């Protein structure tokens, strides 16, 4: 129920980063619908106003991001290694754009990561309830979808 193109752009950005920064192991994409009964596991401080949210996690077993770098990766043109001799190519724009798109969708994004162990990029998006559901049409998204990439 969000802009499909933008949603795919966000997912592709997170998944392609996960692939780029993972040399061995695996990448997992989680999808889960949250409501008042199961949102207790979320980090404190998220202003959850609507009834239902979808939680998506893109988890990798890659190089990880040190705690002090986790704030800067959402800044424009910022990379953990921004040196001219850096190993990984990129523009440093993908996560900045992703962050802006998620804000425009009234969502949230945050990182759980440990250096050399891997990262999970979590995103939380509100599920907009349609004002008038056409009779006989099921508008709710599926309750749980785990996809192994």
- What is the contact surface with ligand ADP in residues (CB under 6 A)? 17-18, 21, 60, 62-63, 65, 73, 79-80, 88, 90-96, 119
Whether the Cβ atoms of residue 107 and residue 126 lie closer than 8 Å to each other: yes
Provide the β-strand partners of residue 146: 30
- 125, two tokens: 């998006």
Smallest gap, in angstroms, from Cβ of residue 141 to ligand ADP? 25
- 91, two tokens: 């523009």
Smallest gap, in angstroms, from Cβ of residue 91 to ligand ADP? 5
Whether the Cβ atoms of residue 119 and residue 64 lie closer than 8 Å to each other: yes
Smallest gap, in angstroms, from Cβ of residue 88 to ligand ADP? 6
Q: Please identify the residue of the shown chain whose CB is closest to the bound ligand ADP.
A: 90
Closer of 37 and 83 to ligand ADP (Cβ): 83
SS3 of residue 15 by DSSP: helix
């Amino acid at each position: 129920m969000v802009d499909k193109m933008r949603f795919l752009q966000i997912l592709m950005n997170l998944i392609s980063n996960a692939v780029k920064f993972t040399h061995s192991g695996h990448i997992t994409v989680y999808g889960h619908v949250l409501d008042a009964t199961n949102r207790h596991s979320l980090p404190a401080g998220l202003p959850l106003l609507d009834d239902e949210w979808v939680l998506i996690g893109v988890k990798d077993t890659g190089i990880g991001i040190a705690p002090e770098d986790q704030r800067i990766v959402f800044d424009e043109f910022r990379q953990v290694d921004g040196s001219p001799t850096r190993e990984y190519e990129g523009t440093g724009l993908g996560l900045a754009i992703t962050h802006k798109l998620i804000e425009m969708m009234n969502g949230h994004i945050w990182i759980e990561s440990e250096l050399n162990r891997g990262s999970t990029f979590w995103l939380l998006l509100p599920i907009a309830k349609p004002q008038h559901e056409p009779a006989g049409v099921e508008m709710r998204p599926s309750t749980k979808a785990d996809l192994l990439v």
